[in-house]
Structure formats: structure tokens, C-alpha cells
Amino acid sequence: MIIQPFTSADPTSSSPFPRSGPSTAGGADLSKGFLLPWIQRHELLVYTVLAYSISWALLIGGYYSTRVGLLDEDGLPVAVMIQVAAAGPLIAALGLTTLTRGRAGLAFFGRSLIRWRVAPWWYALIFLGIPSIMILAMGWLHPGPIGDALHQNWPRLLVQFPVTVLAVAAFTGLAEEPGWRGYAQPAANRRYQPLVAALVVSVIWALWHLPNVLFGQGLTETLLHLLATTVNGFVLAWAYNATGGSVLVVVLLHGAQNATAQMVLGLLESAGEAPSASEYYLVSALVFGTLMTVVAVLTRGRLGTPAVLARGADR
């Protein structure tokens, strides 16, 4: 596939890194006003505010509604509010894409969700690499328990883990990644150098999780969760860039990250160990931070972005 440089403003371009343009084919004609140009100049800021507003309003509003007795915390309305809040990044991305790029932009957005033709090793990383890395890392800290648990449960895990990855990808990955990596990452790539772009989106993504403190997450766990999320954001940015903008791969990778945490902590718990979520977050941050340092060095800081496009400050 030939990747076009950022000078193209055509949202139907074959490039997985399209540049924002004034076209709103199939959408509202805002090109003669001030709104569309302003949004395009500040698209990452506008997207962040919109995604946060949708998610935080529902989560915080729902939380306090249950505290004062307006809603039953186990009722259907609260469950729906939580799922819609989780999809805040997706809703914001769809809304802004429709507004600024119309049907052509939505078609491009949709193609990124089904871009499956990537190097096979990405799928190996998702279904084998991510869990193996964390099993080895946590196994180094808890060698006996995790070894025993794997020996007793490996036939079941061979079936259960891929299913869990797909389930998490369908409900969590699809709710978040079309927004964070499908919309925010290319917006940041157009503005910053690849490493800075990955950092910016990863921090925005991590801070979006702050309402978790309302649901029992302590200070240490919150800080380590933010750290691990930021580091893993670099992994997702690298995957998006290196696969030519495949949101599908990123969605599955997100699913693998979450499913691996469930599996590893579950294995240790079944063996009589009970490591905290904070310990897992710290180990994850250290392991994948090391991995991404190696990737950054090997790619000369491009994180998979084609060399012709890795000129963020010059674009």
C-alpha cells in the first residue's frame, strides 16, 4: 500500500494517516463559517473535551444519583449509563468525524475498524505475546504459585483466554479505541513528533480513567493505574502507526491487555496468592516501558510511523 504524505486533504485517500481538510461531503457545509476551521485547528482539544464530557457526566452523575437514592446501583439505567460512558470516546469520534468530514470521513473511519490485513506477528503478539510477557514477569515474582496454577489450568486457558480477549475487545476495546487511537492518535500525529504524539494521547487516555476513584480505587492504585495506562498507550500507538492505521488490531490489543490482567491475577489467586492490582500495574508499566524503549530506539523514535510522515513539527 502506498502511503500518501500529509499534504493530501482528501478524506478518501488510501493513506491511513489522512490530513484534516475542509471537505464535509455528505455532512453540514461549515467550510464558509468559523466553526469547522476552528475545530480543525484544535481537533485534539475539542475531541478530548467532548469525550471527557460524555463519559464523566454519565459516570459522576450516575454515581451521585445512586448515593442520594435517585437510581438503583444494580438497576438497568445505571448499567446503561456505565456502558454509554465507556463509549464516550467512540461517540465523540463519530460525532466529530460526521461534522467535519461527512460520509467520506465515516467511510474511512469504518475501513480502519476492519483493516485486518497486517503482518501475522501482530496477531501472535495479541494472543500469545502479551500474556506470555506478563506471565513470565509475574512468575518471576511468584514462581511457585503461578507455575502450579498454569500446570493445572492450561487446557482451559487455551480456550478461555482467546474468548476473553474477543469479549473484552467487543465491549471495551470497541468503546474506546476507535476514539483514542482511531481519531485522537492521527490528530496528534499531525501535530507532534511520533513519541510526543504517543505521550499526549496516552496521558489523555490515562486521565480519562480518573473517575475510578469514585468506585473504591485508592490513591496508590490510581497513580499506578495511570502510569501503566500511559505506558500501554505507547504500545497501542505503536500498533496503530505500524499497521497503517488498523484500529481493529488496536482493539484486539486492548482486549489482550485487559484479558491478560484478569488471567494472571486469577491464576495467582487460585494458587493461594493475592497480589494487589497495584503490583500488577507496576510490573506492567516496567515491562512494557522497557519494551517500548527498545521499540523507540529500533524505530528511531518513529514508533512505526513512515519516515516521510514522521515530521510532526514541520507539518
Among 83, 48, 311, residue whose Cα is nearest residue 202: 48
Rg value, the chain, Cα: 20
The pLDDT value given to residue 14: 40
The pLDDT value given to residue 315: 45
The pLDDT value given to residue 46: 97
The pLDDT value given to residue 236: 98
The pLDDT value given to residue 5: 27
The pLDDT value given to residue 21: 42
Among 252, 13, 288, residue whose Cα is nearest residue 122: 252
The pLDDT value given to residue 1: 31
The pLDDT value given to residue 311: 55
For 220-259, give the secondary structure using H, E and C. HHHHHHHHHHHHHHHHHHHHHHHCCCCHHHHHHHHHHHHH
CB atoms within 10 A of CB 139: 18
Among 88, 90, 109, residue whose Cα is nearest residue 20: 109
pLDDT along the chain (315 residues), means of 10: 30 43 46 78 96 97 93 92 96 96 93 96 97 93 81 83 96 97 96 97 98 90 97 98 97 97 88 85 97 96 78 47
The torsion angle over the Cα atoms of residues 302, 116, 202 and 226, rounded to 10 degrees, is -130
pTM confidence score: 0.87
The three-class DSSP label of residue 104 is helix
Q: How far from each other are the two terminal CA atoms of the chain, in whole angstroms?
A: 22
The domain segmentation of the chain, as residue ranges, is 117-314
Name, in order, each residue with C-beta under 8 angstroms of 311's C-beta and a sequence gap of 6 or more.
193
- The set of cell numbers assigned to 276 is 494487589
